[in-house]
A and B are shown apart, each in its own frame.
Chain A
Amino acid sequence: MPKGNRIIKSPNPDSQGITAPMRQPPYAHGAVSRRGPIPMAFQVTSPFDPLKALLPHALVMHINPSSMSETHTKKIERIQTKGGFVEQHWPDDLSELSADGSTGAFMNLYTGSTSVLRQRTIAWDRFRDLYDLYHNNGSVYDPYGNIVLQGNIMLMYDRGTYIGYFRSFDFEETEESPFAFRVNWSFKVQQTIVKLPGYVPKDNEGGAVPGVRRGLMPGVFPVPAFQLQNRIKTST
């Protein structure tokens, strides 16, 4: 039995977790210790508090994507004038995560790899989990199918926690992989939460030094002189 609590915790305080009949924690998420595989995981969060998770358990991807890319774009408008170029800077565009991968092999206990009975396989269920999550996308629908409230999807991975929503989802069945789907999806990021490795200044009690994070660090690092040319001057 490993030391410490390695079970993946639900951020939902109302969740009681899974107990009997298992003696071992049912699942240890690699992100807890960074010493095991780190699956990508999803949550649905509250429309009123993007950091408040609603599901009792995170949806852990059965199989991580085979590739993932992060796209960040600045929004800058450049206009040529007789006096040179004028730049207009605006806040960043929403970042986008896109991933593609494969489902697990559709394998039934009685038939082995199967296409006909793939709806009766674990891989299918896990695929449907993600597909259903995409459909839900954190929205609350009225009986007529209209969105009345919009929550968020939380995507958790070792590079950070991303809060946003699915933008697209498609899957493909080809003759090259008859017992699995190719899946790709894209996700728009509204908020990113990143844990920074390495040294973080601490005070004597072990907390982060508030003054440092607020910004004053004069003379801590050497900088090229030209960086200081625009320094603030005292008016006279």
Chain B
Amino acid sequence: MADGTLPSSPKRVYETIEDTAALYPPWVYDLLTFQRASWETSADELSDQFIPLTTVQQRSPQDAKVFVIGLIPPSATVTGRLLDRSATIASVQGYSEEVDVTLSQPAAKGGRGGGQESNALVVTAPGYSIGSASGPITVAGGGYGGGSKTDGEGVPPAFTQHSDAELYNIFSAAYKKSLGTNPTPNEVLFLVAQSKRETSGNWPNNNPGFIGNLGKPFPQSFEHNKAYWFTFDSVDSGAAAMTKKVYGSAATRQAAQNGDVLGYCTSLAAEAYYGDHSVDTYYNGIHKDRPLMQKLLKAAAAAVSRAGGPTWQVPDLPLHAPEGCAFNETGDAYRRRVGWADPKDPTGKKIRQGKPPAWAIDQGVDPKNGGQVFASSRRFTKYSLYDAGCPIEGAVPPVDPNGKTTSWGGAGSAAAAQAQKAQAKASDKDLNQNDLGKLMTAQQEAYTRALQIAIQQMAQTPPLKLLVNPISFKPAEEKIISDGNVGRNGPIIEHWGAQQTKISASGKLAAFLALDVGDSPNGSAGNAPGITRMARNFSTSYQNFLSLYLIYRNNGTIYLEDLHRSRPQANNLAVVGSVYLYYDNVLYIGSFDSFNVSESDDKPYTLEYDFAFTVRYKFELDSIPDPREVYGNTSLFAKKLAPPTIATDTSVSQPAAATKSAESIAIDQAIIDKTRKDPPQVRGNSVFAQPDDKVGGLSLSSNGQPLGQHPEIIPYRLGKRK
């Protein structure tokens, strides 16, 4: 590389484990699902009064072997329809890169913009940001005149026209007025683009964005009058109302601050700002020929910059929102899919009539309005995680449990005929007398969503490093052989393969140490740091043990709430993943069988534990030989080694051969020859030439640069020694 550094090679498995494992606190593992009916946790209110300590030296993997325990989620692709096992293939072959859809939660709860879900998530994807700019939030020459309005039935509204720079000033003032703080340039810019999108800068009766339009949104027509527009007395009041509506959600405001165009569009959808339209439609406009929001933002940014405002470098954003129903699904399609639509309305526009069923109320539907608006925006809330297997392409409605199933064709087995007969008997009859079918469908939907969350969470739970390795670690392997029977000609021996490896380990916790900071409501004046029995729960050692215990409790399992609520807080075991132990360069994948803890009066400052673990898979991981591991006479030993094979690192793009100079080719060849002749120092899994190296009398600094900075040095990977 031009800067003289060689590109880092892909990390090996053991490196990723050692790099990510740490002494994570118990609450990290408490986030996993357990049998909640039998396990309950809460924050310890005395945590602030003690500081965890330990005398155990932190050691790097080079100094000591680390003992790591982590979790692997179940290999299952969970869709809205079924639980399939196709991801098992991915677990072997590695997954293919997909659209990286990010769900994040805003730092603060927003208001109820539009009266909808206030705690909306930002659904977005990388690559849709216009960046940020700093600078003034008003521009020179951006004054604007007062607006006017007309009132009266059938009277066309009065339009006032504003330039981008004027809008920038108008919304800066409106933001401060309605939200009480100074905006960022990005937030104002988004408001300008938003208003331009809705009105092209022509405000009817001082309405900057047709907010509050009553029943007749598009196309705009001069026939509209105040019956269809909210009218405002002034430009300022109109702008303030729009600002409050758009930024009523903290998620929208946050997305605007970040310049996240897609997140902004999605956040607005979560507030039901544009009804049932898909995010992609709003992002692109109805013409779908260009990212409309980007175009508007770019134009507004340029105009504001020209007027002396901040300067943005708006990049070219992708033409469309990424694939995935989060961005492409419409509100009515969503309603059909989750069973919110009126079964008799194929368009999905109409919602179910009457009082919402219990499951809908449980999930936040307001019975007073039937949840119509909520239903369209709900696809962006916490209940609806689009990145996790939303199965639609064009929003296919779910299978109606009460609808007709596949035709049996009138022939076939007797069972099929019987089924057909039963179906005919039930056809055209409303079996859904008590919403049971819809209830089951909705519960299945909720169940798969919960499963998706749990799997995602388990995948993102970091591995735990034990503060102190176990005292004993014993993998026991056994063959399954039946040799107890004896025939007339001798013993009958049957070989059945290998039993699963059983690991038993035991350990002792490091001494409990904590610092009492004192000045507590309980009257403590504080104590010097030291060994403690009373406050052992706060020590580093105990917390590390508690993390281990929580991993044992979870054991790679996912418990989900029984939606049938057969009993309060009933949780059922849904799917099972794996626990892995990493020790001594071996990765053991399996699950815990038992875990015991004991304490006794003769060891008051420690606990002892032991556990049993059954291994499903065992991997001896490839690792980089540490130079210190070389034993014996290194020079003699090295001579006996076969020359290492040299392979070009294919992960690094190389200059095209045609563009290489003869000199650089010669240099490359010289490096190869030199490396084969005298294998250089191994560091990581790349071979580094020494900066002062010379090859075959040819100075590698011939172009005036030391070897390490030669622009055409190609990194080489040392082949595995046999």
A residues with CB within 8 A of B: 2-4, 6, 30, 32-38, 64, 66-74, 76, 78, 80, 85, 87, 89-92, 158-159, 189-201, 204, 208, 211-236
Contact = CB atoms under 8 A, between A and B. Distances in A.
3 pairs of A and B residues whose beta carbons are closest in the complex: A2-B523, A69-B598, A33-B522
B529 to A, nearest CB: 14
Contact of B40 (A67, A72, A192, A230): A192
A35 B522 contact: yes
Contact of B522 (A32, A201, A221, A228): A32
Contact of B593 (A66, A73, A195, A219): A73
B107 to A, nearest CB: 9
Interface stretch (B96-104, B161-169, B469-477, B705-713): B96-104
B203 to A, nearest CB: 36
A223 B41 contact: no
A66 B601 contact: yes
A233 B77 contact: yes
B47 A193 contact: no
Given A73-B593, A74-B594, A232-B388, A36 B534 contact: yes
26 contacts: A37-B534, A64-B601, A66-B600, A69-B598, A70-B597, A71-B594, A74-B591, A80-B496, A85-B500, A92-B553, A194-B40, A196-B27, A196-B41, A196-B44, A196-B546, A197-B26, A204-B108, A208-B43, A214-B382, A215-B457, A227-B72, A229-B91, A230-B76, A234-B98, A234-B99, A234-B388
B28 interface: yes
A195 B45 CA distance: 8
Given A35-B534, A196-B43, A198-B27, A223 B105 contact: no
B457 A74 contact: no
B521 interface: yes
Interface string B132-164: 000000000000000000000000000000000
B172 interface: no
A85 B616 contact: yes
Given A35-B535, A215-B454, A218-B103, A72 B614 contact: no
Contact of A193 (B42, B460, B596): B42
Contacts of A78: 500, 614
B33 to A, nearest CB: 8
A71 B20 CA distance: 30
Contacts of A76: 591, 593, 614
Given A69-B597, A233-B87, A223 B20 contact: yes
Contacts of A223: 20, 70, 459-463
Given A73-B594, A197-B26, A91 B573 contact: yes
Interface stretch (B222-230, B268-276, B537-545): B537-545
A37 B456 CA distance: 42
Given A196-B44, A204-B108, A233-B77, A74 B592 contact: yes
B402 interface: no
Given A33-B46, A195-B41, A199-B27, A220 B16 contact: no
B31 A215 contact: yes
B17 interface: yes
Contacts of A73: 593-594
B524 interface: yes
Contacts of A229: 90-91, 94-95
Given A33-B523, A72-B596, A232-B78, A217 B457 contact: yes
Interface in B454-513: 454-457, 459-463, 480, 496-497, 500
A4 B523 contact: yes
A235 B79 contact: yes
Contacts of B25: 196-199
B40 A236 contact: no
A105 B255 CA distance: 70
B452 A235 contact: no
Contacts of A213: 31
A196 B573 contact: no
B70 A227 contact: yes
B42 A226 contact: no
Interface string B355-391: 0000000000000000000000000001000011111
Contacts of B522: 2-4, 6, 32-33, 35
Nearest to B33: A215
A230 B75 CA distance: 5
B459 A228 contact: yes
Interface string B40-80: 11111111001010000000000000000011111111110
Contacts of A204: 108
Contacts of A74: 555, 591-594
Contacts of A198: 25-27, 44, 47, 52, 538, 543
Given A4-B521, A223-B463, A230 B41 contact: no
A224 B16 contact: yes
B554 to A, nearest CB: 11
